[in-house]
Amino acid sequence: MYGYLCHTFPRPISAASHYKYSLTDNIAMQITDFELFAVPPRWLLLKLETDEGIVGWGEPIVQGRLETVRAAVTELIEAYLLGADPLRTEYHWRKLYQSGYFRGGPILMSALAGIDHALWDIKGRHYGAPVHELLGGHVRDKLLVYQWLGGDDPEDVAVAAREDRERGYRAFKFNFAREFRPIETPNAVDHAVERVAAIRDAVGDDALVGVDFHGRVSKPMAADLVERLEQFDLTFIDQPLLPEHDDSFASIAERTTVPIATGERFYSRYDFKRLLVDDGVSILQPDVTHVGGISEMRKVASMAEAFDVAVVPHCPLGPVAFAASLQVGFCAQNVVLHEQDLDLHDPATSQRLKVLEDPETFQFEDGYVKRPTGPGLGIEIDEALIRELAQTEVNWYNPVWHHEDGSVAEW
């Protein structure tokens, strides 16, 4: 499919956008146009333009539902934002969220997230400041990031872990198992536990290690497995249950000393509310591309802080999403660790950082990324390369796994 979408302003503002005053009355700057670029490996990037020449970038995406999100972003911008003042970030967030009688969920909140990224990028560039400074100022100078570890064989995973430890990473996360039946054999459980043991042994006791159940483990098995993993002094166990079972997280947390985490499939502060009130988690992992963007993620972090709950943002996507997420990480006290999937240790060869004009924008040292100081999101996109990449068809879907009896397994 053609990789990018462009619209030309002016066009009529929809009736839904009219109140007692015109959106174009007495404003210094207006949103005039937008483009969407689908680029490998699975990203959707939004370019939001203004009549003053200031451009903002966002990353609205649900992995595997790119075209659906593209349609939602287009609909929201055309109906509510063209001709509007981009600096009214909070007003636009409320309007895009609240104007629909049906709201929330992965598609609408991810579309809103990417738009919110771009609006904050414009706002920061307008004022000549990083977004985190507009959100109250930085509370840290650097932020610890973790590396994802793949592989099924314990020995292979251990080798990868040692290599990444030598590259400077001090924190790691990996999936507990692949297909995992609702009731599993002792051999399957032992194999998964061996992977955890191998990684802990490879990185040593001075590294942070998180294990992601990815919602693949059934409630009858999750509690016993969490207890069995206590011996490895884990930093957290992520998604021990599916988000559909958020009412059972507290019962898991009561049975273990391992901090329980979740959040990448929660889409607003309202989704997180039950977990906090029930004392079901020690760590929230919101994703800035799914949780309504910078505006909502900042509120989620503040709400979590009131419950003494840490935040470890989920972010396995591109540099635009990473840059947006970092803006919250540097102004929120309880953001203690951050995901990245960009090969920060070697920007010269990173395929994912090449879409930036300066692949070394994110300064990585001793497991930390330094505070970005550029205006807005703090990055500059290589737009010529983005347009070239957008000519490639991007049609990524997550694998559909099956158990040996033919039933669908959780991915």
Residues 46, 188 within the same domain:
no
Residues 116, 151 within the same domain:
no
Please give the pLDDT value at position 120. Answer: 98
Q: What percent of the chain has pLDDT over 90?
A: 89
Residues 153, 40 within the same domain:
no
The Cα–Cα gap between 169 and 198 comes to 17
Please give the pLDDT value at position 178. Answer: 87
Residue 5 lies inside a defined structural domain of this protein: no
Q: pLDDT by residue (tens digit) across 7-52?
A: 544 444 343 333 333 444 556 899 999 999 999 999 999 999 999 9
For the record, the structure tokens of 377 come out as 């999101």
Residues 51, 185 within the same domain:
no
Please give the pLDDT value at position 27. Answer: 60
Residue 161 lies inside a defined structural domain of this protein: yes
Residues 116, 165 within the same domain:
no
Residue 397 lies inside a defined structural domain of this protein: no
Q: Indicate whether 175 pLDDT > 80.
A: yes
Residues 139, 125 within the same domain:
no
Q: Domain ends where: 129, 155, 172?
A: 129
Q: What percent of the chain has pLDDT over 70?
A: 93
Question: Alpha-carbon Rg of the chain, whole angstroms?
Answer: 21
CB 146 within 8 A of CB 340: yes
Residues 188, 200 within the same domain:
yes
Please give the pLDDT value at position 4. Answer: 53
Q: Indicate whether 308 pLDDT > 80.
A: yes
Please give the pLDDT value at position 3. Answer: 54
Residues 212, 272 within the same domain:
yes
Q: Domain ends where: 94, 109, 129?
A: 129
Q: What is the mean pLDDT of residues 364-392?
A: 97
Residues 112, 152 within the same domain:
no
Residues 198, 51 within the same domain:
no
Which of 117, 132, 290, 314 is the catalytic position? 314
Please give the pLDDT value at position 369. Answer: 98
Residue 372, preceding peptide bond in cis (omega within 30° of 0): no
Burial of 366 (0-12, 13-18, 19+ CB in 10 A): exposed
Lowest mean pLDDT among 16-25, 80-89, 245-254, 373-382: 16-25
Residue 3 lies inside a defined structural domain of this protein: no
Please give the pLDDT value at position 335. Answer: 98
Please give the pLDDT value at position 7. Answer: 53
Of 45, 80, 48, 42, the residue nearest 59 (C-alpha): 45
How would residue 2 be classed by pLDDT, with cut points 50, 70 and 90? very low
Q: Indicate whether 302 pLDDT > 70.
A: yes
Residues 216, 162 within the same domain:
yes
Q: Domain ends where: 85, 100, 129?
A: 129
Residue 305 lies inside a defined structural domain of this protein: yes
The Cα–Cα gap between 133 and 124 comes to 9
Please give the pLDDT value at position 230. Answer: 96
CB 43 within 8 A of CB 61: yes
Q: pLDDT by residue (tens digit) across 312-326?
A: 999 999 999 999 999
Residue 4 lies inside a defined structural domain of this protein: no
Q: What range does the domain containing 290 cover?
A: 132-377
Q: What is the mean pLDDT of residues 129-155?
A: 95
314: annotated active-site residue = yes
Largest distance between two CA atoms of the chain: 69
Q: What is the pTM of this model?
A: 0.92
Q: pLDDT by residue (tens digit) across 59-74?
A: 999 999 999 999 999 9
CA atoms in the 13 A half-sphere facing the CB of 114: 33
CATH number of the domain that residue 65 is part of: 3.30.390.10
How high does pLDDT run on average in the chain? Answer: 92
Residues 148, 290 within the same domain:
yes
Domain count, the chain: 2
CB 331 within 8 A of CB 134: no
Please give the pLDDT value at position 20. Answer: 38
* Amino acid in position 145: V
Residue 25 lies inside a defined structural domain of this protein: no
214: annotated active-site residue = yes
Q: What is the mean pLDDT of residues 101-109?
A: 96
Q: pLDDT by residue (tens digit) across 177-197?
A: 888 999 999 999 999 999 999
Q: Residue 347 — left, alpha, or beta (φ > 0 → left; ψ -120 to 50 → alpha)?
A: alpha
Which of 92, 117, 126, 214 is the catalytic position? 214
Beta strand 4-6 pairing with 31-39? antiparallel
Residue 359 lies inside a defined structural domain of this protein: yes
